[in-house]
Amino acid sequence: MLTGGAQCDQEEWCYGFYGCRRGTEERRWDRVFHEQQMVSKYHFLRVPLPRLDNAKILKIVQVYASTTASDDYEVEESYDELDSALIAKSTYTVVMGYFNTRLGREGKPGRYIGKFGIRERNERGDMMASMVEASKLFVGNTWFKKHAKRRWIWIAPNTRTKNEIVYFLVDTRRILRDASVGVQEARKAQMDLDCAEHKN
């Protein structure tokens, strides 16, 4: 089982932490930054999976996407940059972080987006939906039924409007076991992956 989380500050940088967990035993390994590259706002790692065949590689792309203050051209440009980060070959791909958009809940699930979410999809959500379809990435959060408090991670200044803007995307849906947001004082998105048995 591989667990991961992420935290971002402003639009300047992002960092993530990852570890291997088997049962109650958890550890971090020294070679997690096996190969890394910065592509504008996207930071990606290619990580050799421990206890598995050396040929298996988990690629993690950390995202802090354009905010609502950006125009549509900047958003499209940022998705083009994400495509560049996805080129590197890997057994599994995880794209995670702040997409600053709202996919919302859809009555009928699609191939890559499930039916669970909060509020309604916005225009930027339509742009993200087109991106995940083109990239063939499954939006993990949308496949798990959760209470709204396990989804929102951003709250408006009016303290009433809450949005789900952090998403976990995977190229192999079966490896994603869970995706939710912690309800502690410092809200944190988290996911559980199982990369041991599945092929790309």
Tens digit of pLDDT at every position of the chain (200 positions): 333 444 333 333 333 333 333 333 333 333 333 334 444 444 445 555 555 555 677 788 887 776 666 788 888 888 888 887 788 778 888 888 888 888 877 655 678 988 887 777 888 888 888 899 999 999 888 887 776 666 656 566 666 666 777 888 899 888 887 776 654 444 555 555 565 544 44
Quick one: which H or E segment has residue 161?
A: none
Decide: 96 and 63 in contact? Cβ < 8 Å.
Answer: yes
Please state, in angstroms and rounded to a whole number, the distance separating the CA atoms of residues 25 and 17. Answer: 16
What tokens appear for 67 in the block? 């905010």
How confident is the model at residue 153, as a pLDDT?
62
Closest CA to 191 of 19, 43, 53: 19
User: What is residue 136's predicted lDDT score, i.e. its pLDDT?
Assistant: 93
pLDDT of residue 99: 83
Give the model's pLDDT for residue 143.
84
Structural domains in the chain plus CATH codes? 2-193 (3.60.10.10)
User: Quick one: tokens of 10?
Assistant: 């402003």
| Residue 199: predicted pLDDT | 45
- Can you tell me the distance from the alpha carbon of 35 to that of 48, in angstroms, rounded to the nearest whole number? 9
CA dihedral 108, 114, 117, 122 (to 10 degrees): -70
CB atoms closer than 10 angstroms to residue 35: 13
Q: Which of 144, 136, 127, 126 is nearest to 200 (CA)?
A: 136
Per-residue confidence (pLDDT) for residue 138, from 0 to 100: 93
Rounded to whole angstroms, the Cα distance separating 41 from 70 reads 14
**Quick count: other Cβ atoms within 10 Å of Cβ 194?**
13
